[in-house]
Amino acid sequence: MNRPSNRLFDVYFTAAPMREVFSDRGRVQGMLDFEAALARAEARCGLIPSSAVGPIEAACDADGYDLDALAVAIATAGNSAIPLARALGERIAATDAEAEKYVHLGATSQDAMDTGLVLQLRQAIDLIEADLAELANALAIQAERHAGTPMTGRTWLQHATPVTLGMKIAGWLGALTRHRQRLNEIKPRLLCLQFGGASGSLAALGEHAWPVCEALAEELGLQLPDQPWHTQRDRLVEFAGLLGMIAGSLGKLGRDLSLLMQTDVGEVFEPSAPGKGGSSTMPHKRNPVGAAVMIAAATRAPGLVATLLSAMPQEHERSLGLWHAEWDSLPELCCLVSGALAQALIAVPALEVDAERMRGNLELTRGLVLAEAVSIALAQRVGREKAHHLVEHCCKQAVAQGRHLRGVLGDTPEVRAELNDAELDRLLDPSFYLGQARRWVERALAEHHALNK
């Protein structure tokens, strides 16, 4: 049976290595890795004969299972571990009936599914960490390169005072640095074993329960938690929240980039490539297709995080429906973040920057973006309130007459009495009103380099 796929959009929104982690095969292999490790741990503790381990391990290869048949069986069984454990037992029994007796001993379905998920998440984190580090390095290079490139700051989508492109990029970098730190902090809490048996007490294993727990955690390279977490889902939800934040920060990058690519702005662009960003009808179009993926991921992520949050009040020792709501939500979050990262990694290293256009846009308001600089300089001599009203009047006059603010200020006796031509020229030069922009870049770079050590 061939199941329908969703590859048309999946390639656009998801990185291939992450989709492989959360493919049907990846999910099944995660559970089988749990089963093989459980057999090894129980043999180490003398609970099952060592002769059973080989046949069990040999059967724990996802390539040996009919995933389509498992999919049909799941609809009746209620979860993926029940039919998989049955199929695993049948496969082992075909070659070693004795070994089949020890399959899945003492475990429950959720142990296999949750621990299998954690093993998948460990792979996912490796991919995300590598992409975040690569993207951060690219941002650091761009921030340093453009630390002194003046551009218009924009507040409420209107021209504000000057900033630098490096300062803007340093803001993107700082967010990624904090997410990388959070990811390091979360791993000991997230990457831990789930093993509690039927109701969490592991009563079925008797005196062997605790030694098997320790051995199983060691076999899988996972933390051993204070107790099973069948219905305590804070670990997964914390990670979901972090994924949501990463998606949001990438969305911020994508939003800024798309706005800077607007025809009317034209300051920074995604790299061009044959067939990229075109239109089906307009040959001239250069659409921000990578930014679109980043924004889309940031738009979809909050709903998925909300699903994980909504599924937290799970009933007693095993949940009905709430646990099930997690199954696709967390993997989809990982996939969305991977797709956004993949697009950012295409865009950022090869950003096309039009510094001349930036200088031209700084002059669009004919000096108005530097009115604050003049007002502050005047305030030191005539007082804040008087300076503000005087410069405000000059700004309105400049707009009404279509003149540059510098000319209006030079023609205003109250201003000329306090500021000479050289002072006015300096105050109306964007390169002299960049404040701490370079320092912010240096600090973001320092944090980034410290994390890379």
What residues act catalytically? 279, 318
Residue that has been written with the tokens 């899945």 in this structure: 104
Cα–Cα distance for residue pair 170/142, rounded to 1 Å: 9
- Tell me if residue 191 falls in helix, strand or coil: coil
Alpha carbons within 13 angstroms on the beta-carbon side of residue 450 total 10
- For 413, the token pair is 């006796």
Cα–Cα distance for residue pair 335/10, rounded to 1 Å: 9
Q: Which of 271, 286, 248, 256 is nearest to 347 (CA)?
A: 271
Cα–Cα distance for residue pair 373/120, rounded to 1 Å: 54
CB 38 within 8 A of CB 216: yes
What contacts 417, CB < 8 A, 6 or more positions away?
A: none
φ and ψ of 275, to 5 deg = 80, 0
CB 387 within 8 A of CB 375: yes
142-163 b/e with 16+ CB inside 10 Å = b? Answer: bbbebbebbbbbbeeeeeebbb
CB 332 within 8 A of CB 326: no
What contacts 24+ positions apart, CB below 8 Å, involve 408-416?
A: 409/374, 414/382, 414/390, 415/374, 415/378, 415/390
Angle at 148 between CA 146 and CA 153, to 5 degrees: 90
